[in-house]
Structure formats: C-alpha cells, structure tokens
Amino acid sequence: MAKNTVAILGRPNVGKSTLFNRIVKKREAIVDSTPGVTRDRLYMTTEWAGVSFELIDTGGYVPLSTDVFEQAIREQAAYAINEADAILFVTDVMSGVTALDEEIAAILQKSGRNVILVVNKVDNDGRLADLVDFYRLGIGEPHPVSAINGLRIGDLLDRIIEILPGKSETSGEKSEINLAVLGRPNVGKSSYVNALLGEQRHIVTEIPGTTRDAIDTVIHYKKQAVTLIDTAGLRKKARVKEDIEYYSTVRTHLAIRRCDVAIVLIDGTEGMADQDKKILAGAADEGKGIVLGVNKWDLVEKDTMTARKFEITIQNEIPSLSFVPVMFISSLTRQRVFRLLDLALSVYNERKRQIKTVELNRLLEEMVSKNSPPAYGSKYVKINYATQTRVAPPVFTFFTNEPKGIKKNYKSYIENQLL
C-alpha cells in the first residue's frame, strides 16, 4: 500500500521547517529567519503510533508575488496540494491572522483535501486565548503547538493519524540503490532529475543555488527502486558566506556519504572547472562509485569539440580519476539521460562484484611480472598473495614481506590495474 502523504503549507517564517524537523525528529529541513529558505519540497518518511506517512515541507507560500523564487514556491505548493492526503496549514500566533493567511485558507478550502489548522509559537498557556481569532479562517478548530519546544506535537500527530484515509503500516519500500546528483550550481542537476521523472518535481530556474536541500526521490527503473538525491550546488568554501549556504553544503556532503554512486554533472559549454575536480575528488575520497555527465552537450559546437576530444581533455585534467566513465547528455532535450542512469547502475553493480581469490592472484602475478615492486633498502619486496575483503566499495588486502616497501606510486599502479 502506498504511504499517506502530509504536506506542510503556510506563508513564510511561520515555522514550517521547524515543525517538519520536530515531527521527523531530525534536522532535515534548513531552518533560518530569512524568508524563502525552503524552496523545494522536502520529503521524508516518518511514523506515529505504528502508522507511516510521507511528510512534505514546502516553501513559504506567497500566492500573488512576482518574485522568481516565490513564484516557484507557489508552484511547488500547488504540487504538494495535489499529492497530499492531508495538509497542515501553519500560522503564527505571534503575528495573528494576516491577509496572506486568509488567501491561503481560501485556496485550501477549494482543494478538497483534509486540512488541519496549526497555530505555531504557542509556547505558553497565556497565548491560548489568541486562538479565537483563527476560527475566522474557516478551516476548523485551530491546533496550538510550539514547534521549537515540542509542545502539543503528540496531540497534532494523533489528529493527523485520525484523518489519514488509509492507515498504511510501517512497511514502506526502501530503495537498495542511492544515487546522488552532484555538481556546481547551475550545471543542470534538478533539470536532469526532472528529465528522468518527466515532471517539474524540483524547482528549476536560471539562478544558481536554487536547490538548497538534498531532495530524495524514489523512481522505479528496470524493476529496481532507485533513490535519486538531488543536492544543493557545491560552491567554493570562500563563497559560502550565509548560514543557509553553509547548512546546504553540509547536507550535500552528507548526501555524498550516503549514496552508492555519485552522478557528477559538469557544464559542457564551460568545460572542467577546478570546483568540478574537487567534487569528483570528494566523492572518490568517500569511496563512492562515480560517473561523469557532461550536460548541455546540445549547446556545444561539434565542429570545434568532439566528444572524444572533450573526454581526453577531461582525463588529462584529472589523471588520477581517468577511470571514471563519461556520458555526454542534454537534460533539456533528454538526450542520453537514461543512458547516464544505466551507466550509474552498471557502476553500482560492478562495486558489488566479488572477485575470487584465485582470479585475483592470477592478476597479481601478471601485475608483478610487468612491474615488480622496488627494493626497500637492501630488502627484496615480495607480494605473497591478495584477497578481496569487502564489496561496495571493493577492498583488497595484499600480504607482503615488507609493507613499508609498498610506496604510494606502486599502490597507484596496483589500483589502476584493478580498475
């Protein structure tokens, strides 16, 4: 049975992300006093009283704004309304009922969804008297909470469970494969995910840094459940000046840690930048599988830059990662977007492969015969045998008479022969 979905909606700065974090019991959504911090819908599965549901955090809802981000937030809220079985309409007891609250209430009344009116920031009983004013929104009985202190959150969760149409038990599908979509701002990460999904599930604008949270989306592809983690654009540390950007960068690096394979996108019209190299190196340092997608290939003049020439240039830029497979794509035209996904899944399967010890040692003999390890002082260095001790990532253990004699350059030689 599909999970029930609960969306959190409301105008900016009423505490939606704080409520989201309180319910899921984690700091998943970025919380900041700057309006408009939450731009994409953030999904997470949570549970109460044995009932599992998907919770969606959305951006501050500003229906009539012409600001590019606020327009995008409005579109995201509309998607959330369409997807949600129940909606938490969050208001603020400190500011009372505003014109925006009334406008949002009117929209929700027409949505046909089950709506719970949440009045946040009621952190003492003296403010309970102020709830009377919220009845005029026509949404029903207001539910007072203090998201930051956790007051009356249990009562709210009880109410959510009561109105959900189907109480699906906690047996939600878990994806075996986690793919993180990484890259500098504005290389087309969200556009790539949207191209796979066939819908505008994530906000895509021409302004770098639109995606601030790491967003998980489960897709079914070739009878496999695959989690796509669309991440905030990685900037140089010197440019990460706002607290918001700092937390986004932290979450992006956490996304790298929990993925199996990193799909790193670069801009084909700009070539390989220093920050692209750092992103690739960061994924490699975490022991992740890596595929490189050269996006916006439809905009590259093919007379001056062929795919092979571009690939050679990339390999020269990152010789230590020359083994990383490359795919030339266009998220806009959807050219080879699924072939890049196939490539990532191929890398995932390769990382799980177990090499028999006899085969590994046959390969070791070939490697040593071509290039034996140099002597360590007066000692003759010999590698006796090798065995694979781990998969995903694959780890190989080599037994030698002089471990200190195996220098970094010879280790690199072995690694390259194994790839």
Hey, which bits of 13-135 come out as E strands? 42-48, 51-57, 86-92, 114-120
> At a CB cut-off of 8 Å and minimum separation 6, what does 316 contact?
none
Put simply, whether the predicted model's pTM sits higher than 0.75 gets the answer: no
| pLDDT > 80? residue 148 | yes
> pLDDT band at 269, cuts 50/70/90?
very high
List 117's β-bridge partners, or say none.
89
> pLDDT band at 412, cuts 50/70/90?
confident
Task: Specify the residue for token string 């690199």.
Answer: 412
Rounded mean pLDDT, 203-207: 61
| pLDDT > 60? residue 1 | no
Is residue 25 classed exposed, middle or buried when 0-12, 13-18 and 19+ CB atoms within 10 A define those classes? exposed
Q: Which domains does the chain have, with CATH numbers?
A: 4-163 (3.40.50.300), 177-351 (3.40.50.300), 357-418 (3.30.300.20)
Q: What backbone phi and psi angles, to 5 degrees, belong to 227?
A: -95, 120
Q: Cβ(109)–Cβ(139) under 8 Å? A: yes
In tens, the pLDDT along 160-192 reads 999 987 644 444 445 579 999 999 888 999 899
Q: Classify the C-alpha dihedral 68-70-71-75 as positive or negative.
A: positive
